[in-house]
Structure 1
Amino acid sequence: MSTAPPVVLVLASGRGERFRASGGQVHKLQALLAGKPVLQHTLDAVRASGLAWHLEDAGHPGMGDSIAAAVRATQGAGGWLVLPGDLPLIEPSALQRVAAALAQAAVVLPQHGGVRGHPVGFSNGCRDELLALSGEAGAAAIVQARKRSGQVLELVLDGPGCVTDIDTLDDLARAERWLLSPPA
């Protein structure tokens, strides 16, 4: 088991087709949210967490390819937090909690309000499986295999930032309302 800290993998390789189909004029990661691009909100939270991070934006064909490339680029890490770039409301404390929870399990699945979210945490013991990923499926098969063997920790997070992604213009408007008037 590695003693190195985990690295946040910010995935920004997707095509954002649903966002454009909903009427978006730019890629969803460049869409303005409260005057700042969606991806910049996500990166600001990652930086504020104090965790090491890697931006994977090389334009891979699928989520699995993006994850494998990011793990290859950060192989000395003690684990990985897979964070899609379209989660602009993610909180630094959520990232820190998932990273800390990796000491207890091979896979950490954050959730809020009964909905599974991100970042999904993977220990260094998942490295070979992550490196073998390709295609659209992402790491779901790894999560399921580890779940069957009791190596998954489901972590309840307080804020909705771990489940609030931007896939459509409606999602963007909802996130903006939340940012400008957060619920009490």
Structure 2
Amino acid sequence: MSPTRSLPTVVVLAAGGGARFEGAGPKLGQSLGPASVLAHTLDAVVSAGLPLVVVTVAALVEVARGVVASRDIVLLPPVGSASREPLGVGFSIASGVSARPHAPGWLILPGDMPLVQPQTLRAVARALGQAPVAYAQYRGRQGFPVGLSAELYSELVQLSGEEGLRRLLVRYPSAAVETDDAGVLQDINTQADLAQVRASSTVLAWQQSVVARQPNEA
């Protein structure tokens, strides 16, 4: 058995419209140094060594393909497609979980959280062995990722529209994973949020590591 088969799959939600974000192009495609917001988020998951699936829309497919394989991308239908239920966070979660039905669990991670660290993802993944639900927590405040065990599959695939995880968090025992990773609370909804993330020392360190990995030019 492949080692990754025993690990929960990270479902990266990258289909939101970002209604509060005022800027040219989708917020997940905005630059953070040499890469995009979404690329940073995906890079953290890859660095954590966890399997993943990216739930996204046509405008961001090429951004996702710059980091992950096409087989790990779930493309959602355009908004307003005939015979499709309304898109939303619930629909995206259901689509991602349905794409990996045999995973031992899933970690839900919004694509606009590029500061979440690989060690945080691994810690929440381990906590799923203690409770049906696990989530990252910073100084007592609940954040992402949120982990969900395989026993919740039937409920997860029925989520739709804007129905998120709150109901499941209330109904099932959960394990809070306290971390010193403030990135579990930092999403990007506005230009001010983006500016704050761009100024983060975490992003600067990531950029330096990318440069270090690039071959020297003759």
Q: In 2, are the aligned partners of 1:42 and 1:85 still within 8 Å (CA)?
A: yes
1:175 partnered with 2:177: no
- Higher mean displacement: 85-94 or 113-122: 113-122
CA RMSD, Structure 1 to Structure 2 (Å): 1.6
1:52-131, aligned counterparts within 5 Å?
A: 52-57=51-56, 58-59=75-76, 61-131=87-157
- 8 Å contact from structure 1 (residues 14, 59) kept in 2: no
For residues 205 and 111 of structure 2, what CA distance do their matches in structure 1 show? 22
Task: Find runs of 4+ consecutive structure 1 residues off by over 2 angstroms.
Answer: 179-182
Distance 1:169 1:59 in 2: 26
> Are 2:2 and 1:5 aligned?
no
CA apart distance, 1:140: 1.1
TM-score (ref. length: structure 2): 0.76
Counterpart check, 1:159 vs 2:181: yes
Could you say which structure has the larger radius of gyration? 2
Letter in 1 for 2:29: Q
1:29 match: 28
**TM-score, normalised with respect to structure 1:** 0.89
Q: Can you list the C-alpha shifts for 1:89-131, whole angstroms capped at 9, x where unaligned?
A: 1100000000000000100021112321111000111111101
Query: 1:113, 1:33 → 2: CA distance?
Result: 26
Q: State the aligned residue count.
A: 173
- 1:38 aligned onto 2:37: yes
Question: What residue number does 2:19 align with?
Answer: 17
Q: Deviations over 1:43-65 (max 9, x none)?
A: 11010000110011134611000
Write the distance in 2 (CA, Å) between the matches of 1:4 and 1:132.
24
CA deviation after TM superposition for structure 1 residue 180, in Å: 3.4
Q: Which amino acid aligns with 1:180?
A: L
